[in-house]
């Protein structure tokens, strides 16, 4: 069975406060982007995970796809599988590619072995693998709270807008991004801000990671400025970086942009 795990962008991201468990309380909108990896899972006598495309560091047993399989195998006693991941989505980009691969491993195993697990059950498993994994069990924009695992459907839809996604040759670790964070609570929710006309987002919809990341990596800030210069209605860094996206109302304007750091562009479908 072959599936196509998509990435996400964060349209607004507030870091509200540091929790007693060491995590940060978040408020964000996860938005699915039809830019994907390729994942194949087949029944097999022995478990294996092979990877092609972009290089992924770390041991096979530490890969999120392996962890997702082990989680389902432990709880539902499924047989072994052979997993092949063709990696296209960049790492260290704030796009959630590894989380998408893990969630789609869960979704595919559920279908392959007819486990009849509901989406909410799969999301609970996914939340054990990573803070944004649960989002990828859904096929629509979601407001994420808690660590990002508490989800509810967003009323904000960007279908028929054109997206340009850019990433410089910079890897931003989540740990480094959090070092530049100054949490701030008691402010309007992301969902309420996204209810405003999109033309107003530029001034009110913020990603709290930008200030610290831009200070460390000015080249990422320059990409955001570039997207506004060429006509984006709204532009922002996704997640903890280093990718930056621009939303355009005009397809031709989006398509006409020439820049070596563009990694994907196309219509938003959700």
pLDDT of residue 156: 84
Is 132 an annotated catalytic residue?
Answer: yes
Closest listed residue to residue 28, CA positions, set 76, 94, 74: 94
14: burial class by Cβ within 10 Å (0-12, 13-18, 19+)?
buried
pLDDT surpasses 90 at 92 = no
* Rounded CA separation 164/217 (Å): 20
**Cα dihedral value 248, 3, 129, 183, nearest 10:** 0
Location of structure tokens 């910079």: 170
* Rounded CA separation 153/81 (Å): 33
Location of structure tokens 């059950």: 121
pLDDT tens for 95-121 read 999 999 999 999 999 999 999 999 999
Closest listed residue to residue 170, CA positions, set 33, 255, 263: 263
Confidence band, pLDDT 50/70/90 cuts, at residue 32? very high
pLDDT of residue 175: 87
Question: 37, 101, 132, 261: which is the annotated catalytic residue?
Answer: 132
Task: List the domains of the chain with CATH numbers.
Answer: 2-153 (3.30.230.10), 162-267 (3.30.70.890)
Question: 8, 145, 167, 224: which is the annotated catalytic residue?
Answer: 8
Decide which of 171 and 224 is more confident: 224
Find the mean pLDDT for residues 241-248.
96
How much is the pTM?
0.95
pLDDT tens for 174-192 read 888 999 899 999 999 999 9
Is 101 an annotated catalytic residue?
Answer: no
- Evaluate whether 230 touches 257 at the Cβ level (below 8 Å): yes
Closest listed residue to residue 7, CA positions, set 31, 33, 30, 27: 33
Percent of the chain residues topping a pLDDT of 90: 90
pLDDT of residue 57: 85
């Amino acid at each position: 069975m072959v599936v196509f795990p998509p990435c996400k962008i964060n349209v607004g991201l507030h870091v509200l406060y540091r929790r007693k468990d060491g995590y940060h309380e978040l408020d964000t909108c996860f938005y699915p982007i039809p830019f994907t990896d390729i994942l194949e899972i087949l029944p097999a006598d022995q478990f294996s995970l092979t990877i092609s495309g972009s290089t992924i560091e770390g041991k096979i047993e530490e890969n999120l796809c392996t962890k997702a399989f082990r989680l389902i195998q432990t709880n539902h006693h499924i047989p072994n599988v052979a997993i092949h991941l063709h990696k296209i989505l960049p790492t260290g980009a704030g796009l959630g590619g590894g989380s998408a691969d893990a969630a789609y491993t869960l979704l595919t195993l559920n279908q392959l072995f007819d486990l009849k697990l509901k989406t909410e059950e799969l999301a609970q498993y996914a939340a054990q693998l990573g803070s944004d994994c649960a989002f990828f069990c859904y096929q629509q924009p979601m407001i994420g709270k808690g660590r990002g695992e508490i989800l509810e459907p967003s009323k904000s839809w960007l279908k028929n807008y054109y997206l340009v996604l850019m990433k410089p040759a910079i890897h931003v670790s989540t740990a480094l991004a959090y070092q530049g964070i100054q949490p701030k609570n008691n402010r309007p929710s992301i969902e309420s801000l996204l209810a405003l006309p999109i033309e107003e987002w530029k001034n009110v919809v913020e990603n709290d990671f930008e200030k610290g990341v831009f200070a460390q990596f000015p080249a990422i800030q320059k990409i955001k400025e570039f997207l506004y210069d060429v006509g984006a209605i709204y532009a922002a860094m996704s997640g903890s970086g280093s990718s930056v996206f621009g939303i355009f109302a005009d397809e031709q304007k989006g398509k006409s942009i020439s820049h070596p750091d563009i990694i994907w562009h196309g219509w938003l479908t959700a």
